[in-house]
Amino acid sequence: MSPLELRSAAVRPSSTSRRALLAGSVGNLVEWYEFGVYGSLATVIAANFFRYEGSSGAEALVAAYASFALAFFFRPVGAVVFGRLGDRLGRRPTLIVVVGLMTLATAMIGLLPTRAAIGAAAPWLLTVLRALQGLSAGGEFGGAVSLMTEYATVGRRGLYGAWQSFTVALGLLTGAGTAAALASALPAEALNSWGWRVPFLLALPLGAVALWLRTALDEPPLPPAPATRTDMAPAGPRELARAVVLGIGRIMGWSAAGYTFLVVLPSYLQAALGASLREALFATALANAGFAASILPAGALSDRIGRRPVMLGGALGVTVLALPLLHLLQSPSSSPWSRGGAVLLAGALVGLMAGPGPAMLAEMFPRRVRCTGLGLAYALANAVFSGCAGLVITALIAWTGDTAVPAYYAAGTCALSCCALLSLRGRGHREPLG
């Protein structure tokens, strides 16, 4: 075989790699589908579970986002528990457990009685199920990204890792699209009384497919030789902690801007700008479409030119454009086309960070602590900067009356991410993954 043929074979994905890619990414779709549904139907969920006699709609929405945020703070626990299992027992069994737990908890939300039926127990039961979702989500990312990048062929780690983010986008888009379809097909009374349950129950068939794919998968192959990377954290507790903190800094803008533009947007448009539920869900679907469209090209581009320039481009774009894009949405003179373009662009900028992000995190940690390290960095970043986004934005708007708060939040966190991303090595994407 000629050198050219050897190179071609090295970069050609095998059927095993493709199965690993599918099995690793499908669980993320289930997980983020639910988050998309919850974010899109937050006002409906707030009315059914968190509003009581004498309370306002704004207070109920803040409580709904508090429950949303609480689930994120269980993610680091799940990242440590399931990450250690994944590093010690293997990626496959851990991923089977976490997708089963996520599917069960999501379907049970669709069966919960509301506050009108059982009183104050309803929001507590919902919060417990959200906590179980947080535990499983914390273990999902580290295991799935480790699996996909360890199976990745030469020069394709960025693209393989980007599939994790792409299925996040696909899950959010599917969740928002399902909610939007129900809002269009059902009268408001039917949606509020029983229609909101349908998207949560649809997680059962999605989860069954994910379980079937993962049970048929083998463990990733061991690297042929010890890692020679110089940018990878040693396995010591202190070095691992430093790498986790650096990883949080590099992805905090992705986490914050992603949830601001992709999840919090529906309730923000309704509460702050007076949009209808259908208009808000349509705008969210457009933002998620822009996000999904840019992820895979960004991951593939990062395999060619490096993770740093692509991720910096996204972070700088949000820093500079967040406020002008929000003003465009707020302006009464803006056309529907310009508003649609604004939310599409916002989503695409987040995709520039999300595409290379998983591979970048995987390249920071050696195999023996990869599930734990990258999972913990991602979980903590999401707990602080994503899970709290809806609560912080909603509360600050109510306190200050400033409807530009989402832009300040997204731009500020992305500016800080730019500083951390500057420490990325230019050619680290070309080195072996140990």
Map tokens 């009315």 to a residue.
Answer: 47
> For the chain, which residues make up each domain, given as ranges?
16-220+232-430
Burial class (CB in 10 A: 0-12, 13-18, 19+), 189: exposed
- Cα 60 → chain centroid: 24
Angle of helix 307-330 relative to helix 336-354, nearest 10 degrees?
Answer: 160
Say how many C-beta atoms besides its own lie within 10 A of residue 327's C-beta. 14
Q: Up-side HSE of residue 210: CA atoms within 13 Å toward CB?
A: 29
Do residues 36 and 175 touch, judged by C-beta distance below 8 A? yes
> Looking at residue 13, what DSSP letter applies?
P
CB 261 within 8 A of CB 343: yes
Q: Which amino acid is located at 197 in the chain? A: R
Q: Could you tell me where the DSSP H helices lie in 331-388? A: 336-354, 357-362, 370-381
Let me know: does 353 contact 254? Beta carbons within 8 Å: yes
For residue 206, which amino acid is it?
L
Q: Which helix (H) or strand (E) holds 271?
A: helix 265-273
Those residues whose C-beta lies under 8 Å from the C-beta of residue 237, and which sit 6 or more positions away, are none
Q: Are the CB atoms for 74 and 138 separated by under 8 Å?
A: yes
Per-residue pLDDT of the chain (434 residues; tens, 9 = 90+): 333 333 444 444 567 777 888 888 888 888 878 877 887 787 788 888 887 766 666 677 777 777 777 777 888 999 999 999 989 888 888 989 999 999 999 999 999 998 888 888 888 898 899 889 889 888 888 988 988 888 887 688 999 999 988 987 788 778 878 888 888 888 888 988 899 899 999 989 988 988 898 888 777 776 655 555 556 666 577 888 899 999 999 999 999 998 888 777 766 777 667 777 777 778 878 888 899 899 999 999 999 999 999 999 999 999 999 999 888 887 778 787 887 888 899 999 999 999 999 999 999 998 888 999 999 999 999 888 887 777 788 788 878 888 888 899 999 999 999 999 999 877 777 777 76
The domain made up of 16-220+232-430 has a fold known as Growth Hormone; Chain: A; (1.20.1250)
| Angle between the N-to-C axes of helices 265-273 and 307-330, in degrees from 0 to 180, rounded to the nearest 10 | 30
